[in-house]
Amino acid sequence: MILQRFCCAWAVFLLLAAAPARAADGDAALLAAYDAFQDGNLTKLEKQAEAIRGHPLEAYYDFWHLALRIEVADAPEVHRFLSRYAGSRVADDLRARWLKELGKRRDWSRFDVELAPLVLDKLEVRCYAWASRLAQGDRSVLDAAHKLWLEPIKLPEGCDRLMEDIAALGALSEDLAWQRARVQMEERRRSEAGRALEYVPEKSRPSTATLRLVAKKPERVLDRLLKKKKALAHRADRELAVLAMIRLAGIDPKRAAEMLEGRLSDSVSAADRQYLWGRIALESARRHEPEALAWYERAGRDALTYEEREWKVRAALRAEHWVSLRDAIDEMPIEAHRDPAWTYWYGRALAELGRPRGARAHYLRIAGEPNFYGLLATEELGDYATLPKETHKPSDEDLAEAARNPGLRRALELYRLDLRKEGRLEWVYTIRAMNDRELLAAAELARRADIPDRAINTADRTQQRHDFELRYLAPYRDVFSAYAKEQDLDEYWLLGLVRQESRFIADAKSWAGARGLMQLMPRTARWTARKIGMKKFRMSDMTDVETNITLGTSYLKMVLDRLGHPVLASAGYNAGPGRARRWRDTKPLEGAIYVETIPFDETRDYVKQVMVNAVFYALLDGKRTSLKERLGVMASKVQDESEDKDLP
């Protein structure tokens, strides 16, 4: 593991040339200490102490050492660390860990003093802060805590302990417990639903086995409940039926609708009926089923969640029912009207309904913004996307200031040792409050150090001064150009896809296991290698630029040939070709509508950004292109889709 990290090639530029020479044994000791920290092995960590003293990342050793001992640490030791490394990412992280420990100890007087200097908002620390206020009799935190309880997330330990405190005060009702169980079942988190129901009286609480059956075979549970002599006469049975209906809607919304219209119609309350119609409509809209809009009408307007309202808009969009689309956006909260997506589609609805002046007013609100809907709005106004008139390049003084920044220097050291996660956290913490001038200097620093992901992401944050050459870097451009020609791929689209996949990091590895510049999964890489006759392929070859681009462009070309359009191929590259094909409609569908109605949030945002990237890469080559033309029209579905089955 340690030796593997030394494979990262490093381009040290003049501004950092004066940095002191690093001893190889110090680097090795630091990496060994990092591994010990990850393993929670304090003894192994301490063996590296002497070799690390004086290393540019000594702060990290001290942080790891104290973090592993935080449960037995005392205030003076913590304060010495915080004072020595004041203003650094590790100091803020250590402070957060110390606050969590103080929260566990219920040392509220010390907790309140230590909380104020914390920079980053940590949910678990926030929960302990509410617990501190609650312990002092401040019940005003209950509203915020109840809202958190109903969020569709798994709560960390500190938040669980806050809820225990609230329950001890009698302020976590059975109603709230059942509500959280519903929210967690919506997210397919059966175990979290079970944890929420620990706050329900034991006689009313379903067993773990019953909840397991709800998650796997909800209709069987409903059958059992409805066969009881007094079907759904008790609240526990009614609540269990609702949980089962939530799961059934997720599995088969049409069957859930049949149940709600038939056997369950008189057995649940009017409020629960509306709630369940909202869930059925949402799941149906995600599946692009034509009944979705009708089921939304049965859900009413007032009880819908924000997510359900978004998918009501998308259901109307998919049907190209412009009156329903306009009305659905009107029903959304006021903050949603600032979202470029709904601003654009509201304008489109007005245009389709014969109100061009209203449409123009909406387009003008977002035109010129360098995002998917900003570009589309610009084109609706008869213009095309352009690059900023002025490009800001950092001065020598700006670069020298960036090179002296302690946080950026630490981040560069971490990247040098291929501690990418730590380097990214250090970098993001350091640039969090930078102005445009400082951001562009930091981005250029990253570019010269051959860290394209930091260069791109940092340049992407500017508000007034911009450098789109940094935002849209294209490392290995000659290699991509050659393979784009060989595979007959649009080079700008290819670059846009790789920018989104890996930010041009050759040895990138995702949490799911995708590797390299074009982020191929191992199975896909092996399959493609066999298909193109690549001999003696090994997964370790995926960090080789030529190998990765060879396999990635070959696979992308196969996906494009099967699906027939870059939008479909982009969706297929991210979520699988079969899904991308199934997401088409029974009629030809405008590309922008197809993209907005992709059921997966990640894939929807991915495709939008890939297509925008392609526009800007073309612009940087002096070629103005239309996003709307790139999006085109998706062909209608065909019955036989068996040709997808051999594509991974």
Catalytic positions? 501
The rounded Cα 180 to chain-centroid distance in angstroms is 23
Would you say 531 and 539 are in contact if contact means Cβ atoms under 8 Å apart? no
CA dihedral 595, 596, 602, 608 (to 10 degrees): 60
8-state DSSP, 235: H
d(CA 617, CA 468): 9
Q: Cα–Cα distance between 137 and 114 in angstroms, integer?
A: 20
Report whether 42 contacts 68 (CB < 8 A). Answer: yes
Length, in residues, of the chain: 648
**Alpha helices, H only, 331-461:** 340-352, 356-366, 372-380, 396-404, 406-416, 420-431, 436-448, 452-459
| Cα–Cα dist 352/320, whole Å | 10
Adjacent-strand bridge partners of 634: 589
Say which residue the tokens 């290699």 belong to: 479
Residue with tokens 């702060």: 59
Task: Sort 121 into a burial class: Cβ within 10 Å, 0-12 / 13-18 / 19+.
Answer: exposed
- Which tokens in the block code for residue 527? 């399959």
Q: Which helix (H) or strand (E) holds 589?
A: strand 589-590
Say which residues have a Cβ less than 8 Å from residue 496's Cβ, sequence separation at least 6: 609, 610, 611, 612, 613, 614, 616, 617
DSSP-based three-state secondary structure for 170: coil
Tokens 């003894």 appear where?
43
Cα gap 245→501, rounded to integer Å: 37
